[in-house]
Amino acid sequence: MRFRDRADAGRQLADRLGDYAHRSDVVVLALPRGGVPVAAEVAARLNAPLDVWLVRKLGVPGYPELAMGAIASGGVEIANADVIDSLHIDLAMFRRVASHERVELDRRDRIFRGDRPAPAIAHHVAILVDDGFATGSTMEAAIQSVRKLEPAAIVVAVPVGARDTCDRLRPLVDRMLCLYTPELFRAVGEFYEDFSQTSDDEVRRALNAAKELHDHEA
């Protein structure tokens, strides 16, 4: 199974999330940057507000795509013990990477949200959307940080994910929707025909367009 692009993946996710359409207690939260085009389609079809939920992967030095953990809004920090132990990563290295990524997380918050207040989470159904996950460290950090805000429920929706990761995260949320869990999984991008990088400008445009659309239909 392959998706044409992130928008196609978002439309397919939305088709499975019809129970949440046209409800005032639903908010769609995208993990930027790649999750934003996916979540924009979900939010549009559900007639729900869209916002970003900031998470940064903590990549292993020299192997940035390999996550040794993640950080998220609210000071949440997740360590991937399997990766840390197998590569003998010391605490000082972990802290250096986490500190660097915290600066980038704060920068993105200013760029993406600007003066806009954080989305209402308490007593809402929060649908966390990304373009896929391998280790799931970033999504786990997002789940933990959102949980602190006392949502009515947390739904995780991704087009593709490693099977063991989907199984591991499922007990942490109220609903887990992984459209495709391939037997052999190496990287999320393998399952997209177009997996080009999403820019900061594209994220801002998507968020602004989603706000205009939702305000118009509200």
pLDDT at 218: 62
- Selected from 3.40.50.2020, 3.30.420.10, 3.40.50.300, 1.10.10.10, the CATH number assigned to the domain covering 6-54+117-217 reads 3.40.50.2020
Q: So where are the chain's domains?
A: 6-54+117-217
Neighbours of 23 (CB within 10 A): 13
Examine the pLDDT at 156 and tell me if it is beyond 90.
yes
Span 139-168, average pLDDT: 94
Neighbours of 37 (CB within 10 A): 21
Give the global pTM.
0.86
Examine the pLDDT at 109 and tell me if it is beyond 70.
yes
Span 162-186, average pLDDT: 95
Distance, CA of 18 to CA of 101 (rounded, Å): 35
Closest CA to 139 of 197, 101, 178: 178
Two tokens at 217? 């239909």
Span 47-63, average pLDDT: 91
Of 5 and 107, the one with more pLDDT: 5
Distance, CA of 21 to CA of 48 (rounded, Å): 7
Is 191 in contact with 180 (CB distance < 8 Å)?
yes
Strand partners, 58: 69
Span 82-108, average pLDDT: 93
pLDDT at 114: 78
Closest CA to 124 of 27, 19, 10: 27
pLDDT at 155: 98
Span 59-82, average pLDDT: 86
Examine the pLDDT at 55 and tell me if it is beyond 90.
no
